[in-house]
Structure 1
Amino acid sequence: MVHSNNTVGPSKSSLAAISVAAMGVVYGDIGTSPLYTMKEVFNGPHAVAVSPDNLLGILSLIFWALTITVSLKYVMFITRADNRGEGGIMALTSLAMRTRGAGPGMLWLMSVLGIFGAGLFYGDAVITPAMSVLSAVEGLEVATPMFKPYVVPITIAVLCGLFIFQPRGTASVGALFGPIMLFWFGTLGVLGLWNILKHPAVIAAINPWYAVHFFLENRSHAYLALGAVVLAITGGEALYADMGHFGRRSIKWAWLGYVFPCLYLNYLGQGALILDNPAAVKNPFFMLVPNELLYPMVGLATAATVIASQAVISGAFSLTSQAMQLGYCPRVQVKFTSEREKGQIYIPNINWLLLLAVIVLVLGFKSSSNLASAYGIAVTLTMMIDTLLAFVVVRALWNWNWLQAGLFLALFLVVDFAFFSANLVKILDGGWFPLALGLGVFTLLATWKRGRTLLYERLQQDSIPLDSFITSLQYGGPHRVEGTGIFMTTRPDGVPRAMLHNLLHNKVLHQRVILLNVNMEDIPHVDDAERIGVEQLREGFYRVIVNYGFKDDPNVPLALEQCSKHGMAPIEMMETSFFLGRETIVPNRVPAMPLWRQILFMWMFRNAGTATDFFKLPTNRVVELGTQVEL
């Protein structure tokens, strides 16, 4: 499916319930942006002078950034580009690569963009928890300066608690996320409205002329200010990534009907406060709050930032799982934390690496203002990649003409590039961190994909055609023993290396031989009716193909139970042996990859999880046969 055309939607009551739930996951990141956006505009490295004209200009820029990038680009357009209901950079890349007639160079470029966009997401997954929780805890400094030495320790304690909680999963607290964020956004709106009543003139900022006037008056300084304004839309891309959990309609109505109005009311309220008291630019968000409610507000803000962090951490787990299924990432341990929701997963390796990186960030930058220098550049680059891939989709798959697709590209790419280029000045002040992290992840993913492709090609060079092998058995062959032998193979029409090694060493074949190929589709889920295909061959051989989507949980024994529905006698696990090839990579005298990439791939290959664990094979029924492969 290229985009949704469902005519029958959920009822109004269920739509409202799903929209509330969506607030707890989808809008956590962008919903905590008011904590620091206005503060960074007027206090950051390119601080804007406090004046009524400048204030209205900034508020106008924030409004139109939210409108063009979030409302128009993501909510109205890109969320229509769903891959069977799923969104995100991987789903968008899969759609773009279905372009008919695209040459190898074009497919390679789209693949590189998608992988790099995925790498940048990990940079965002590290910065978001550090930035948002720090900015919430810094509210204590507004209450009393005596808390200043404790801000960093409290932040690290909150973040450690968040990551330590991950193995338990989000199912137990997920029901609270939506209502808490519903209350959070309502509080933002009420605080903003209360201050707008004191200076209702700030509402005029909706007029785009104030943004234009701000640029005409400040020129290059106004351009650099975009590096702080962009903080208002960080997290906007998350509503597309999380679309598969809640659906396009609930995300759209939650944004347009509640989240966007409450967010912008708060920004207007902060503007009104600064007009009334220019000294409030020190921390305009918390200075909106009455003194007697300051401590509860710090607690609520911390809860909101923890929820925002949880969403991006879960997104990193989900992205890793998808990359693994699509062949961009080595197998790692994945734990499912909910019996009902297959999308709720926990990946220990990713969790502890993220925690380590987040703690290093907090200790290194020490304040949200310092972290703001690193924040934004990865998000804006990801948004640019989304726009380019979406252009391919609307042109090639939706059949828009060149004028329509060109206008789409021009409008959104100009805005994305403006924000991205304004953030380039942050590179030396910390912006290098998410770029370096994204580039590092990209290198790992691209190296694994390239290495696996080369390994597959090497294995195919020595492969024997299956038809010829089966025909040779008619003229006499190895001794046949009772039971079932299942040989996992990447090439259904060839003889697996594990079978050749088994014949070489044990000189026997089972009475029934199943050649099992697990096929990973570039769609999120495969229906149960299409899960398995069985083809009976000669001499007791069967070819079985099991299909999974990139968000499915591979379980081969469970899938094999369906073979009986296709005319095969039931498989008794206690009478069945699984034969797997266990390759050892050795350097080739003429390597197909640069030496450093070859060494990196060999290290990743040695440390990858086993096929036994990944496919949930019964460990006491698995036989691994090793072989050396030159790469």
Structure 2
Amino acid sequence: MEGTDMEESHGPPPRISSSKKLGRMDSLERDAGKVTGMENHGRKILTRAVILRLAFQTIGVVYGDIGTSPLYVFSSTFPGGISRDHLKTNVLGVLSLIIYTLTLSPLIKYVFVVLRANDNGEGGAFALYSLICRNANVDVMGKRHPEDKNLSAYKLDLPNQGRIRRGIWIKNFLEGHKAVHVVLLMITFFGTCMVIGDGTLTPSISVLSAVQGIQVQVPNLSQSVIVVVSIVILICLFSVQRFGTDKVGFMFAPVLTIWFAMIAMIGLYNLIHHDHGVLAAFNPKYIFDYFKTNKREGFISLGGVVLCITGTEAMFADLGHFSVPSIQIAFTTYVYPSLLLAYIGQAAYLMEHPEDVGRAFYKSVPKPLYWPMFVVAVLAAIIASQAMISAVFQIIKQAEALGCFPRIKVVHTSKNFVGQVYIPEMNWFLMCACVLITAAFRDTTTIGNAYGICVVMDMAVTTTFTTIIMVLIWKTQLFLALLYLLVYWSVEFTYFSAVVYKFKDGGWLPLLFAALFLTVMVIWFSGNSKRYKYELDNKISMDWITGLGSNLGVSRVRGVGLVYTELAQGIPSIFSHYITNLPAMHSVIMFVTIKNLPVSNVLSEERFLFRRVGSKEFRMYRCIARYGYKDCHRGDTQFEEDLFKSLAEFISIEDDGKQMEARHLGEADTDSCSVAIYPVSLQLSPPQAPEESAIAIPGSGVVEELGFLEESRKAGVVYLLGDNDVRAREDSSFINKFVVDYGYAFLRKNFRESTLILNIPHTRLLKVGMVYFI
């Protein structure tokens, strides 16, 4: 903050009459105003037909992973076979574990609890983190300002005051400990990395386990052929991702619908024709009998049982592609019953044929149905990978939008569902990783050992954040929130303890991927934070700008200069560097800040905030364009058109004292060069010539200024962007020098430039170089 031209505001300002003076302000910390008629925060109210359509698509995108788990769960749980001495105890014990794991985790936890913790229809670790950030003052970067709190997406329905007191202690705890802010962010990073690790393993184990089934009928087929076929299928799978979730979902959903119907019918067939006594597994006593009989080996076998819930996290991470009702309907009415019948049927078959546990799924299929089932299984396994691939796209987009991941290309693939995205860089990385894993491990047992760690640790992160949201936002009774935490931490850490035993047998792989991406995210976030702090500490005071005079000390040429900066307050140092070294600048200057907020989306009516910088003669303005992590923002023609329309409305509203008083914005100090900011609505009339403008102009000064703005725009619009070379200071520690000079510099050079992300036309781009020592 500048000590001479602004005062920091802490919270929304009181409503005052226009005759009362406001303190000097340069930080845009004023209320953005409320937009009426937006009770749903910009979310579409989906019709029943759309919900059912999305429910059908979820079968093809969300549930493929968990749906193909019956291919390998029993074989992974009993890699050494089933002893006939305790056949009933072993089979019923594992079946009971599967039944209650499916019920506790996907059904109760995710469908009925976690899905409710969405951020305006968005799921994933960053969605949970953003909810916590908005409802407690948790902001590591320090880029939040009080005016953001009045966005529609920030608001939640508040319970009565008595229930608010129940969660006030956790809010104070989170806000009062900066170390907790960092811990929460690191947990979010870790959860994100686990999803990425899951996304690299899911396609490999699903496709490989399905293709291996051909060895039941063709036992002489070598494993090398199986691996090559699996790799070809994986390459084809990732090649179709560019068509988008909407199209891929409709291609895949019919196959998965058939798959779930077939495994349910085959399960029912096995239950009737083999041993219907396995229904006794609904009695949880068989779980205790299983552990009592098998002791340590039974505990380690949990690493195989946990594979029955692989892909569960995709139900939440893929939420932005669909909706809560669609995911709930599909799982409770179709997916969950089909999975139960499939596992019960396999258990009934194994009671009579325990020697077939290595190929339990295909061996339990009636012979006339083998080849049709094999074809559908291979197709279903291919599709199963889609769940985690889409989840990785979604969660990486959230991380990138919030400045926690290097700049990447995000392609929005659907006009109807804005949350559906495709990320080319991540798609090809996942493809290469899956191919290498399949070629290196060659069998599902080793991949399964690695798989469990990703699943369990990701679920533990979700459990932790959901509990905080229960107390902080939902105002749930503390007893119920702690009971939820205790139950699911107990389940998840029990499974985690089991899969840790298999660390050396492949469990190290997901942790390697997690460490790689965690390093990237920490380095990028750390570098960005230091660079932002440098810009904040070295911004230019308004007194320096005022001392330059009406022409700012240089020749003014016709045109508009859009100076992009991350600062929401103050004049960036790059601007002083520019006007010091160049003899001329544009007649109109606008400082544009693209501000990413911890919300899923920002309504177009609340997109822009404007204010004037200095006196009117300067023709300098500041604009903040606010976006959520689900929004798509580009520096294209439409953005430019909206920007100038909004600026024209701002100039008109600024001059109208009656509108200012009605909006409770007040007047600026007579000795101040700045004025209060205005929220600007984009609900304007279509573009018209200046003489036909639909905006009412209250005074000649406004007419002159709008005319000058239009003439300057016709003369040309130039985008001024800082091309900063970031280096560590000489007195920095070795770690800081390594992170900044090597790690952060490598990521800046090898990922996409901001000009590509903002889609700035190169013919109108002017880069200004400067060295930052951070």
Give yes or no for the alignment of 1:203 onto 2:279.
yes
In structure 2, which of residues 706, 718, 721 is the aligned counterpart of residue 577 of structure 1?
Answer: 718
Give the 3 Å change call, closer, same or farther, for CA 205–523 of structure 1 in structure 2: same
Q: Residue 231 of structure 2 contacts residue 435 of structure 2 at CA under 8 Å; is this kept in 1?
A: yes
- Once the two structures are overlaid, the 10-residue window that deviates more, 47-56 or 617-626, is 47-56
1:51 is paired with a residue of what secondary structure?
helix
Equivalent of residue 596 in structure 1, options 738, 745, 748: 738
**Could you tell me which residue of structure 2 aligns to residue 562 of structure 1?**
642
Matches within 5 A, 1:107-122: 107-122=181-196
Amino acid at match of 2:376: L
Q: How far off is 1:48 after superposition?
A: 10
Instruction: Encode CA deviations 1:291-338: one digit per residue, 9 max, x unaligned.
Output: 233222222112112112123222222222211111111112333444
| Match 1:65 to one of 97, 101, 108 | 101
| TM-score w.r.t. length of structure 1 | 0.95
Cα deviation for residue 365 of structure 1 reads 0.8
1:104 partner letter: K
Report if the CA contact (8 A) 1:93-1:389 is conserved.
yes
Distance between the aligned counterparts of 2:331 and 2:45, measured in 1? 18
Decide which of 59, 62, 78 is 1:23's aligned counterpart: 59
Tell me if 1:167 matches 2:242.
yes
For the residue of structure 1 that corresponds to 2:770, the secondary structure is strand
C-alpha displacement of 1:11: 5.5
1:286-325 matches, cutoff 5 A: 286-325=362-401
Residue type of the alignment partner of 2:258: F
For residue 516 of structure 1, report the CA deviation from its aligned partner: 0.3
Per-residue deviation at 1:504?
1.9
Contact 2:409 2:752 in 1 (8 A): yes
Q: TM-score, normalised by structure 2?
A: 0.78
**What is the CA-CA distance between 1:468 and the residue it aligns to?**
4.3
Residues 203/15 of structure 1: CA separation in 2 closer, same or farther (3 Å cut): farther
* Residue 546 in structure 1 maps to residue 625 in structure 2: yes
With over 3 angstroms needed to count, the CA separation of the structure-2 counterparts of 1:92 and 1:46, relative to structure 1, is farther
Q: Using the alignment, how far apart are the partners of 1:501 and 1:272 within structure 2?
A: 77
Deviations 1:558-593 (A, max 9, x none): 233223143455684761001000011233212264
**Which residue of the partner structure matches residue 371 of structure 1?**
447
The answer to whether residue 751 in structure 2 is matched with residue 608 in structure 1 is: yes
Distance 2:292 2:714 in 1: 75
Q: CA deviation at 1:462?
A: 2.4
Q: Distance in 1 between matches of 2:558 and 2:263?
A: 70
Change (3 A) 1:400 1:346: closer
User: Once structures 1 and 2 are overlaid, which stretch shifts more, 420-429 or 42-51?
Assistant: 42-51
CA RMSD of aligned residues (A): 2.4
Once the two structures are superposed, residues 422-463 of structure 1 have per-residue CA deviations (whole angstroms, 9 ceiling, x without a partner) of 110111000000011111111110111011111111223322
Cα offset, 1:517, TM superposition: 0.6
| 1:349 Cα deviation from its structure 2 partner | 2.2
Paired AA for residue 450 in structure 1 = S
- CA distance 1:454–1:6, change in 2 (3 Å): closer
Alignment of 1:63-462 (within 5 A): 63-97=99-133, 98-99=135-136, 100-101=171-172, 102=174, 103-149=177-223, 150-198=225-273, 199-462=275-538
The answer to whether the Cα contact below 8 Å between 2:129 and 2:185 also exists between their aligned partners in 1 is yes
Equivalent residues, number: 629
Give the conservation status (yes or no) of the 8 Å contact 1:79–1:240.
yes
| Unaligned runs of at least 5 residues, structure 2 | 1-38, 137-170, 652-705
3-state SS of 2:240 partner: helix
Native 8 Å contact 1:546 1:559 kept in 2: no
State whether structure 2 residue 773 is matched by structure 1 residue 630.
yes
Deviations 1:122-142 (A, max 9, x none): 111110000000000001111
Bigger mean CA deviation after superposition, 256-265 or 582-591:
582-591
Deviation of 1:79 after TM superposition, in Å, equals 0.9
Shift of residue 58, structure 1, vs aligned partner: 0.5
What are the equivalent positions in structure 2 for 1:484-563 lying under 5 Å apart?
Answer: 484-537=560-613, 538=615, 539-557=618-636, 558-563=638-643
For 1:240, the aligned partner's letter is F
| Contact 2:558–2:715 (CA under 8 A) maintained in structure 1 | no
Hey, what's the Cα distance between the residues in 1 that align with 2:218 and 2:720? 66
Give the match for residue 728 of structure 2: 587
Relative distance call for 1:7 and 1:495 in structure 2 (3 A) is: closer
Alpha-carbon distance between aligned partners in 1 of 2:323 and 2:598, rounded to the nearest angstrom: 19
Pairwise CA distance, 1:467: 5.8
Query: Are the equivalent residues in 1 in contact too, given 2:72–2:209 (CA < 8 A)?
Result: yes
- Structure 2 counterpart SS, 1:124: helix
Aligned-residue offset at 1:594: 3.6
CA distance in 1 between partners of 2:491 and 2:342 (Å): 23
Q: Measure how far apart 1:475 and its partner are.
A: 8.3
Report Cα offsets for 1:150-198 as digits up to 9, x if no partner. 1101001101111233334344433122222111111110010000012
Offset at 1:366?
0.5
Counterpart Cα distance in 2 of 1:515 and 1:185: 55
Q: Which has the larger radius of gyration?
A: 2
Structure 1, gaps ≥5 residues long: none
Aligned counterparts of 1:175 and 1:79: Cα–Cα separation in 2: 23
Say if 1:227 and 1:423, in contact at 8 Å, map to a contact too. Answer: yes
Structure 1 segment 453-492 matched on structure 2, within 5 A = 453-466=529-542, 468-470=544-546, 472-474=548-550, 477-492=553-568
2: CA distance, partners of 1:69 / 1:332:
33
**In structure 1, which of residues 599, 618, 622 is the aligned counterpart of residue 761 of structure 2?**
618
Cα drift, residue 6 of structure 1? 13
d(CA) in 2 for partners of 1:107 and 1:44? 46
How far off is 1:13 after superposition?
4.8
| Contact kept in structure 1, 2:41 and 2:120, CA below 8 Å | no
Native 8 Å contact 1:380 1:419 kept in 2: yes
More displaced stretch, 407-416 vs 496-505 = 496-505
Q: Secondary structure at the match of 2:451?
A: coil
Cα deviations across residues 460-498 of structure 1 (Å, max 9, x unaligned)?
332212464145424862111111011011113322233
Which residue identity lines up with residue 270 of structure 1 in the other structure? Q
**Residue type at the aligned position of 1:43:** P
Amino acid at match of 1:151: I
Counterparts of 2:85 and 2:535 in 1: how far apart (Å)?
Answer: 65
Is the CA contact (8 Å cut-off) linking 1:41 and 1:47 kept in structure 2?
A: no
Counterpart CA distance in 2 for 1:294 and 1:610 is: 52
SS in 2 for 1:283: helix
Helix, strand or coil at the partner of 1:629: strand
